[in-house]
Amino acid sequence: MLEENKLSRRQILSGLGASLAVATVGPVLSAEGAIGAAEPAAEPLKDPTTAYPKPPFKSQQQPWPGLASKMEPLPDHGEKSYKGSGRLKGRKALITGGDSGMGRAAAIAYAREGADVAINYLPAEEADAKEVIALIKAAGQKAVAIPGDLRDEAFCKKLVEEAVRQLGGLDIVVSNAARQQQRQSILDLSTEDFDATMKTNIYAPFWIIKAALPHLKPGSAIIGTTSEQATDPSADLYDYAQTKAATTNYVRSLAKQLAPKGIRVNGVAPGPIWTPLQVSGGATQEKLVKFGGDTPMKRPGQPAELAGIYVLLADPLASYATGQVYGSSGGAGMP
């Protein structure tokens, strides 16, 4: 009888232990299965050489400064493709030239990463700007439109003041707006043209950064848009190429000056990108038709393809990157 009782107790304890083990392991396996089932399918690989349109392009021309909404094909700024993950949550950004091109791509990406965004543009670009403002709001972020001409120092100061007031602060400045007009010879370049390019591309960033600096705290970021033209200038972009060399240098110089204050300064150097600059006097019709075809990828880039670079340079995770110029030129190797 005693042995029977012992056996029964052993059997009961053994059965109880097995039940507990199953009860413990069961939910874990079930949870792992549930997690696996909930994971989205991986994005298929996309061949970058065929991802976007290649030349030849339709011959087309617009008056300066041009509208992205009237280009054929339409540029891709990430309107449908860019997905955010909260990398810039709570940030407040000012972007010049935010109506089209890389500025628009940055504005869309920043908003979808959680930042409130103010954009500047010329009054003639209002139609494009309205689309960007709508996209920022659709991302659930505050959108501020501040039209005006950056060639005016007083306006540049007002631009920063308005951005700070309406956003409630400022911690990202993207100096992206630029003027590009091709001239086959220096003899065709007037002093008025030269002056307009210098004021838009060199003076305006100086005025804007100077006005913004008192508002920027440690951890803030300044990003300039330079170009492959800074290191490999085209013969017909004499004045524009000079300004991009200057942009590259101010990025590297200012980075050294502001690093002790905890403010990072970096640049983005695009190659041939499909933007209104090209159709509004920035390229000859002959060049436009073949635009981007001489790169290793045999096509121009799209603004959306640079959005991630602008996000990276504003992201606090890139806290050790300053004084850097990030190229995106389809394999040309610049900068």
Catalytic residue annotation? 240
Query: What's the one-letter identity of residue 233?
Result: P
Which one, of 118, 168, 119, 111, lies nearest residue 137 by Cα?
111
216-249 burial string, b = 16+ CB within 10 Å, else e?
Answer: beeebbbbbbbbbbbbebeebbbbbbbbbebbbe
Which one, of 315, 308, 318, 324, lies nearest residue 251 by Cα?
324
- Residues 6+ away with beta carbon under 8 Å from 333: 327
Helix/strand/coil (H, E, C) string of 170-226? CCEEEECCCCCCCCCCHHHCCHHHHHHHHHHHHHHHHHHHHHHHHHCCCCCEEEEEC
State how far the alpha carbon of 29 is from the alpha carbons of 25, 34, 41, in Å.
Answer: 6, 9, 21
Phi, psi of 265 (to 5 degrees): -130, 120
Residue indicated by tokens 């060399």: 245
Q: Are 222 and 175 in contact (CB under 8 A)?
A: yes
- Measured CA to CA, the distance from residue 106 to residue 89 in angstroms comes to 15
Q: Is 283 helix (H, G, I), strand (E, B) or coil?
A: coil
